[in-house]
């Protein structure tokens, strides 16, 4: 069996998205800035896509800027909010410890430029406390940025409440909704969002395409200078085929969202139940407030990397930590933030199931993980010490 269970890293493009993009590669390849009709047809396609994308998140078309993906949208949102703040003498930013590196590294850069950043802790189950946000807001706070859903442990943050709080205090609120858009309901009006980042390849669109929503009146700064595309907010010839495919993928995902989320949640809970039977293991993140596709576990006495390789041999593509952190020896900042000690954090496994996952596949994954964990523990000197009582079990 071949099972792709790493949908938080990227997703397979949908047939709908591929079909939608092909005409803009093969025939309608004109430049949207060109005045002849051949170019104008490309421009019309981009504007239709903008309307569709806007509708999917409750925004207005003019509030959508197309970008090269989630990272660019995060960078532009944070740098724009910082520039707005600086003009008013406000240089304090609030975020949290489990954000994606596209946010955390941009915050580091802003710190070097003199901004003061408060990184809030999260609870043991990986959730930001709204009261903590409230207490952290100061007179000079210019931005609160908290993700909608976490890419590693799948936890859902109380963004509607945080957004409402920010509105009340007159502070801009940005959310990295890359893992949420197309998977769970997101509405920029109801959720009180001023800026939002999303990425096509996380909802069955193509890689290298995404968008930034910025509420009317929020002045965006450019990351890229050049032509007047995207109303002067993002220079560069539009990725027409990518934008069209993204809107098709998003419209389809949103249309099927309720049904998909319901079905995946059942499979997710079955997977969680099955893996919980492994001794000295623990679920990472919150059992209820989590994405329908996300399962993340720590197993004591295991190396995450070895676990991945053996699962790969059995046809299962999974992840340990996040794609961005694997390859480095540091354990995931997210797992450390929810209180996992280094050794335990190293033994993590993230399974993010696809929209077409079946019960049979879940059974196969449970059996495979049980087998592989048992095998690796059999070789592990760390596990031997734990079992003999020489060292103490943590989980």
For residue 156, the cross-strand partners are 149
Helical (H) or strand (E) element with 119? strand 116-120
Helical (H) or strand (E) element with 315? none
Q: For residues 177-205, b (16+ Cβ closer than 10 Å) or e, as one string?
A: bbbbbbbbebebeebbbbbbbbbbbbbbb
Q: Name which position in 17, 147, 165, 369 contacts ligand PLP (CB under 6 A).
A: 147
**3-class SS string, 50-91:** HHHHHHHHCCCHHHEEEECCHHHHHHHHHHHHHHHHHHCCCC
Determine, following the binding rule CB under 6 A, whether residue 179 of this chain makes contact with ligand PLP.
Answer: yes
Contact stretch for ligand PLP (CB under 6 A) within 43-51, 127-135, 174-182, 278-286: 174-182
Q: Name which position in 43, 50, 92, 100 contacts ligand PLP (CB under 6 A).
A: 100
Q: Name which position in 199, 294, 348, 380 contacts ligand PLP (CB under 6 A).
A: 199
Q: Name which position in 17, 102, 144, 275 contacts ligand PLP (CB under 6 A).
A: 102
Please say which residue, 30 or 182, places its beta carbon nearer to ligand PLP. 182
Determine, following the binding rule CB under 6 A, whether residue 354 of this chain makes contact with ligand PLP.
Answer: no
> Rounded to whole angstroms, how far apart are CA atoms 32 and 43?
4
Return the axis-axis angle of helices 359-379 and 381-388, rounded to nearest 10°.
Answer: 80
Q: Binding string, 151-170, against ligand PLP, x = CB under 6 A? A: x-------------------
> Rounded to whole angstroms, how far apart are CA atoms 343 and 68?
36
Label residue 236 exposed, middle or buried (CB < 10 Å: 0-12, 13-18, 19+). Answer: middle
Tokens of 267: 């499979």
Contact stretch for ligand PLP (CB under 6 A) within 42-50, 153-161, 186-194, 195-203: 195-203
Please say which residue, 145 or 199, places its beta carbon nearer to ligand PLP. 199
Task: Provide the strand spans (E) within 280-362.
Answer: 281-283, 294-299, 316-317, 348-352
Determine, following the binding rule CB under 6 A, whether residue 96 of this chain makes contact with ligand PLP.
Answer: no
Report, in Å, the least distance between residue 287 CB and ligand PLP.
21
Of the candidates 208, 241, 244, the one whose C-alpha atom is nearest the C-alpha of residue 27 is: 241
Q: Is 56 a catalytic residue?
A: no
Residues 205-264 that bind ligand PLP (CB under 6 A): 210
Q: Which member of 56, 142, 166, 324 is catalytic?
A: 324
Residues 13-72 that bind ligand PLP (CB under 6 A): 69-71
Total of residues contacting ligand PLP (CB under 6 A): 15
Please say which residue, 133 or 146, places its beta carbon nearer to ligand PLP. 146
Catalytic residue numbers read 324
Site of interaction with ligand PLP (CB under 6 A): 69-71, 74, 100, 102, 147, 151, 176, 178-179, 199, 201-202, 210
């Amino acid at each position: 069996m071949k099972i792709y269970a790493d949908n938080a890293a990227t997703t397979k493009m949908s047939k709908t998205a591929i079909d939608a993009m092909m005409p803009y590669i093969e025939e309608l390849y004109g430049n949207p800035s060109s005045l002849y009709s051949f170019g104008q047809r490309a421009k019309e396609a981009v504007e239709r896509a903008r309307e569709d994308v806007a509708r999917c998140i409750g925004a207005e078309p003019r509030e959508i800027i197309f970008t090269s993906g989630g990272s660019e949208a995060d960078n532009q949102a944070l740098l724009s909010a910082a520039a707005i703040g600086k003009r008013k003498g406000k240089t304090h930013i609030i975020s949290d410890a489990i954000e994606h590196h596209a946010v955390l590294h941009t915050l580091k850069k802003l710190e070097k430029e003199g901004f003061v950043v408060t990184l809030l802790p999260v609870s043991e189950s990986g959730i930001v406390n709204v009261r903590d946000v409230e207490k952290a807001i100061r007179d000079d706070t210019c931005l609160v940025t908290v993700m909608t859903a976490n890419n590693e442990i799948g936890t859902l943050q109380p963004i509607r409440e945080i957004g409402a709080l920010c509105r009340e205090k007159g502070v801009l609120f940005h959310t990295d909704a890359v893992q949420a858009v197309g998977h769970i309901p997101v509405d920029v009006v109801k959720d009180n969002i001023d800026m939002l980042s999303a990425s096509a390849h996380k909802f069955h669109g193509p890689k290298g395409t995404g968008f930034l929503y910025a509420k009317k009146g929020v002045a965006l700064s450019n990351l890229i200078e050049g032509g007047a595309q995207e109303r002067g907010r993002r220079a560069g010839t539009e990725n027409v085929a990518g934008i069209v495919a993204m809107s098709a993928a998003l419209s389809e995902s949103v249309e099927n969202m309720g049904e998909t989320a319901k079905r995946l949640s059942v499979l997710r809970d079955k997977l969680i139940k099955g893996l919980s039977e492994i001794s000295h293991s623990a679920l990472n993140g919150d059992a209820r407030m989590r994405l329908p596709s996300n399962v993340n576990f720590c197993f004591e006495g295991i190396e995450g990397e070895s676990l991945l390789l053996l699962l790969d041999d059995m046809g299962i593509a999974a992840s340990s930590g996040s794609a961005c952190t694997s390859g480095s020896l540091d354990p995931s900042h997210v797992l450390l933030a929810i209180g996992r000690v280094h050794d335990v954090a190293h033994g993590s496994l993230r399974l993010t199931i696809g929209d077409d996952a079946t019960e049979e596949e879940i059974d196969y994954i449970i059996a495979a993980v049980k087998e592989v964990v048992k095998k690796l523990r059999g070789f592990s000197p760390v596990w031997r010490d734990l079992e003999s009582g020489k060292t103490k079990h943590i989980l």
